[in-house]
Amino acid sequence: MSKRFFSRRDLLRASLATAAIAASPAGALASAEVVRPTSESQTDYAATQATLQAKEPLETLSATESDTFEAIVARLIPTDANGPGATEARVARYVDRALGGALASSRPAYAAGLAAVEQYARRTKGASFVKLSPENQDALLTDMESNAAPGFTPNSATFFDLVRNHTLQGMFCDPYYGGNANFVGWDLLGYPGVRTVVSADQQRMGIELAPNHKSAYDYEMFTKNSARATWRGDQPDGD
């Protein structure tokens, strides 16, 4: 596995600069630190993992495209001893939804790119990408990242970067957008959640705030018109 781009640490570091753009108000993740989930969190993740991995209705990607894409993001941010990965965060769901909306301009690139991934996998490894071993999947993604995989338009590195950026968005976005399911991405970063009121004591150096597991759209001041019907108005600001 190429540690240069598959390292969980590198991906999390990059997320602090790029992933929050689709996530929460005012770049709220900018000061988050990467921490390991608590043992209690690990137990919660294990208890819900089977549900998180269940197939969900597709909105934009075809079934074949979705299978390939889910396999790719599972290797970009894998589940490991440090905690849950892209599968548990439902990154594929985030991208599938976004390709029908905010990321619609990328839909043709996904159609062509995912088809190229499949063609390259069959040509070089003799099987569909989803049927390859994790080691062979990593090898193909390494080729793509280093621009050594032919058959992509305009090239494999461009498609790899597109997928990687969207994977980071889905891992660490506000759950309202379909990714970061059960706040697993924010917990992995140690980001305590959106707060509209922060006391002086909570701003002291070295203070660790307990996660509140709230979406920005749980607060009326951030509620979009399309989210008003599901806003839980009984939750007070500031916690």
Q: What is the DSSP string of 30-98?
A: TT----PPPHHHHHHHHHHHHHHTS----SSS-HHHHHHHHHHHHHHS--BTTB--HHHHTHHHHHHHH
C-alpha–C-alpha distance, residues 147 and 27, integer Å: 31
Task: Give the pLDDT of residue 151.
Answer: 97
The type of residue at 181 is A
Up-side HSE of residue 238: CA atoms within 13 Å toward CB? 6
Average confidence (pLDDT) over 59-84: 94
Listed range (89-93, 135-139, 202-206, 222-226) with the worst mean pLDDT: 222-226
- Residue 233 placed within a domain: no
Mean pLDDT of the residues in the chain: 78
Residue 163 pLDDT greater than 60, yes or no: yes
Residue 42 pLDDT greater than 50, yes or no: no
Task: Give the pLDDT of residue 54.
Answer: 57
Instruction: Catalogue the long-range contacts made by 18-21 (C-beta closer than 8 Å, 24 or more residues apart).
Output: 18/165, 18/168, 18/169, 19/168, 19/169, 19/171, 19/172, 19/173, 19/185, 20/172, 20/173, 21/169
Could you tell me which residue, 32 or 126, shows the higher pLDDT?
126
Task: Give the pLDDT of residue 224.
Answer: 61
Task: Give the pLDDT of residue 79.
Answer: 92
Task: Give the pLDDT of residue 69.
Answer: 97
Task: Give the pLDDT of residue 223.
Answer: 65
- Residue 40 placed within a domain: no
Task: Give the pLDDT of residue 229.
Answer: 42
Residue 77 pLDDT greater than 90, yes or no: yes
- Residue 95 placed within a domain: yes
Residue 107 pLDDT greater than 50, yes or no: yes
**How many independent structural domains does the chain possess?**
1
- Residue 155 placed within a domain: yes
Structure tokens at 9: 């640490």
Backbone angles phi, psi at 56, to 5 degrees: -120, 155
What's the predicted TM-score (pTM) here?
A: 0.73
CB 123 within 8 A of CB 62: no
- Residue 219 placed within a domain: no
Query: Among candidates 7, 130, 19, 18, which has minimal Cα distance to 68?
Result: 130
The 3-class secondary structure across 109-136, one letter per residue, is HHHHHHHHHHHHHHHHHCCCHHHCCHHH
- Residue 17 placed within a domain: yes
- Residue 220 placed within a domain: no
State which residues form the domain around 20. Answer: 3-35+51-191
CB 161 within 8 A of CB 98: no
Helix, strand, coil proportions of the chain in percent (round to 5)? 60, 0, 40
Task: Give the pLDDT of residue 185.
Answer: 94
Percent of the chain with pLDDT over 90: 53
Average confidence (pLDDT) over 133-146: 97
Average confidence (pLDDT) over 195-217: 83
Task: Give the pLDDT of residue 23.
Answer: 40
Please state the separation of Cα 38 from the chain's center in Å.
20
- Residue 225 placed within a domain: no
Average confidence (pLDDT) over 144-167: 98
Up-side HSE of residue 79: CA atoms within 13 Å toward CB? 17
Residue 51 pLDDT greater than 70, yes or no: no
Task: Give the pLDDT of residue 31.
Answer: 33
Residue 39 pLDDT greater than 70, yes or no: no
pLDDT tens-digit map of 59-68: 999 999 999 9
Task: Give the pLDDT of residue 55.
Answer: 64
